[in-house]
């Protein structure tokens, strides 16, 4: 997707995040179908134990729960931290009223920003643990981390481009 104007950058990065999530849904399904073993052979205290496993859709559910939860958490974090949306604009407007209301609303916004991520992490861990135990929780965590490179690129875009702009301005002033 080609970006030609500044306002289009943010929407392009969001489209890439959603697109990569959709692609990962398909890839994760294939990985679960072809790599999930039917039996585990464990050695517990000198005894060989054969554990029958469930169907391949269970690790898939654990993984996609993490993947979708991670995408929702990223979107919600952007909502409560970006100046493009009302929470940050409301906090900025409150600064005009004085420091007390700024601190109070800032703390309330900070507490609110942890609500949705906590709920989604808890639900993902609960369902994954119910399906496959700690293995399911690990798969859910991997699902949350699978979009991390793109999320970090999105998070790093603002500060990196801002620093680059500042450096170029200083270079122009030095000439």
Q: Where are the domains of the chain?
A: 7-174
Expressed in angstroms, the distance from the first to the final Cα of the chain is 36
Two tokens, residue 174 = 């030095």
Query: How far is the C-alpha of 108 from the C-alpha of 87, rounded, in Å?
Result: 10
Q: Render pLDDT for 102-112 as a digit per residue (tens, 0 to 9).
A: 888 889 988 99
Q: Render pLDDT for 13-58 as a digit per residue (tens, 0 to 9).
A: 778 888 888 999 999 999 888 887 776 666 667 676 666 666 778 8
- What contacts 54, CB < 8 A, 6 or more positions away? 131, 132
């Amino acid at each position: 997707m080609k970006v030609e104007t500044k306002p289009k950058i943010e929407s392009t990065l969001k489209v890439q995040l959603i697109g990569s999530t959709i692609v990962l849904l398909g890839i994760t399904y294939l990985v679960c179908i072809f790599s999930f073993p039917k039996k585990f052979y464990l050695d517990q205290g000198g005894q060989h134990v054969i554990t029958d496993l469930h169907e391949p859709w269970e690790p898939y559910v654990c993984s996609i729960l993490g993947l979708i939860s991670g995408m929702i958490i990223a979107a919600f974090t952007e909502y409560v931290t970006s100046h493009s949306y009302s929470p940050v604009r409301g906090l900025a407007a409150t600064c005009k009223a004085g420091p007390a209301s700024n601190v109070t609303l800032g703390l309330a916004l900070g507490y609110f920003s942890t609500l949705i991520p906590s709920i989604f992490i808890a639900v993902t861990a609960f369902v994954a643990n119910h399906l496959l135990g700690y293995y399911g929780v690990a798969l859910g965590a991997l699902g949350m981390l699978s979009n991390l490179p793109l999320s970090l690129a999105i998070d790093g875009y603002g500060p990196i481009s801002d620093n680059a702009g500042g450096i170029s301005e200083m270079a122009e002033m030095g000439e």
